[in-house]
Amino acid sequence: NWEMGNFTEKEIIRIRKLVGDNAQVIGAVSGGVDSTVAARLMKEAIGDRFHAILVDTGLMRLDECQQVKETLREHLGINLTIVDGGELFFSRLAGVVEPETKRKIIGETFIDLFEKEAIRIEEEAKETPRAGKVEWFLQGTLYADLIESLSFKGPSATIKSHHNVGGLPARMMNGQAQLKLIEPLRELFKDEVRAFGRQLGIHEDLVMRHPFPGPGIAIRILGEVTPERVEIVRKADHIFISMIKEAGIYDQMSQAYAALDTNRAVGVMGDSRVYGMICILRAVTSVDFMSAEPFEFPFQLLKNICRRIVNEVDGITRVVYDCTSKPPGTIELE
Ligand code: XMP
């Protein structure tokens, strides 16, 4: 509609004015709709003076990094740098089981790598006559993210540390880099960002993609996060999501994922008794992610999904479906 078209144009003009003819902007992208729309908008406004940075945490889903690369760099023409952080994340997460500690380590490692990259781009810019200083830091924060992060900070303590609100901008703005924050989506709701994304030529699959948390698969693995356990969750998750898509019900739910329990359970595979891992499936519907209801699968489909996961993913002997509402449960497990 004309109002959205107007918004795109106005926002591009506003960004150009704000950033000027010379300054550069950096921003983290995740492959989600928010950061992709924000990045596409920056590209439209200032071209290659915008640098998108994807930190490959080793905690993303199956083939996700490759897909983000194709979409952003090849399809949307965004100036993208991929930082390979897998080994660093896994080494820092070794032996860690406490959820908030995991989140903290991931958030800090992410910032360490991002900051290093920002400094590298800044150094490079000094040698390029047409590119100015890196002055801005882009965030794809939505109105709802701001509300939620405020509501998380009760008088007693933060309920859960959301890693894309708060920490990163604070260090980018006050640390060595001294960047200013640019948030083109901060007045929008999710459905508006989606409409906006379509207008900017972003593929429908990405526009309708379920949200994926910054700490990634790590908060879907109860207990220790190891490359082997991530691999197992990735395979189970891929089967789960593919079957949901094949059934044509992906858009009916707000989020769905496979996770891994710390406990083990006995099963029989062929003739032998195996003591294997327990996969937890979760799928919810939600309007604002502040509350959520478990998705009501047709039971036969759920059984088929469980059977395929046990048959195809080595190490998993049992699959359970989480029927907890939010509240009291949260959408993620940690
Ligand atoms: P919870 O688990 O709190 O999740 O019910 C609500 C929504 O937020 C997402 N989530 C995160 N997103 N960084 C993110 O970018 C995080 O640290 C984080 N933790 C939870 C979650 O996937 C759901 O959509």
Q: Is the CATH number 3.30.300.10 carried by domain 221-321?
A: yes
**Full DSSP string of 169-233:** HHHHHHSSS-PEEE-TTTT--HHHHHHHHHHTT--HHHHTPPP--TTGGGGGBSS---HHHHHHH
Span from the CA of 1 to the centroid of ligand 1 (angstroms): 31
Tens of pLDDT, residue by residue over 76-108, are 999 999 999 999 999 999 999 999 999 999 999
Q: Is 297 in a helix, a strand, or coil? A: coil
Tens of pLDDT, residue by residue over 7-27, are 888 999 999 999 999 999 999
Please, what is the end-to-end C-alpha distance for the chain in angstroms?
40
- Domain limits of the chain? 2-207, 221-321
Scanning 33-166, the segments in alpha helix (DSSP H) are: 33-46, 64-69, 86-93, 99-126, 143-152
Fold of 2-207: Rossmann fold (3.40.50)
Name the pTM for this structure. 0.91
Atom of ligand 1 nearest to the CA of 159: 3
Span from the CA of 173 to the centroid of ligand 1 (angstroms): 24
Q: Supply the pLDDT for residue 192.
A: 92
Judged against a pLDDT cut of 90, whether residue 262 lies above it is answered with yes
Does the CB atom of residue 326 touch ligand 1 within 6 A? Answer: yes
Smallest Cα–Cα separation from 260: which of 330, 332, 308? 332
DSSP secondary structure code for residue 48 in this structure: G
Q: Supply the pLDDT for residue 275.
A: 96
Atom of ligand 1 nearest to the CA of 161: 17
2-207 and 221-321 have identical folds: no
Smallest Cα–Cα separation from 267: which of 323, 190, 319? 319
- pLDDT averaged over the chain? 90
Does the CB atom of residue 99 touch ligand 1 within 6 A? Answer: no
Contact in structure between 231 and 270 (CB atoms under 8 Å): no
Smallest Cα–Cα separation from 23: which of 187, 197, 177? 177
Q: Supply the pLDDT for residue 6.
A: 81
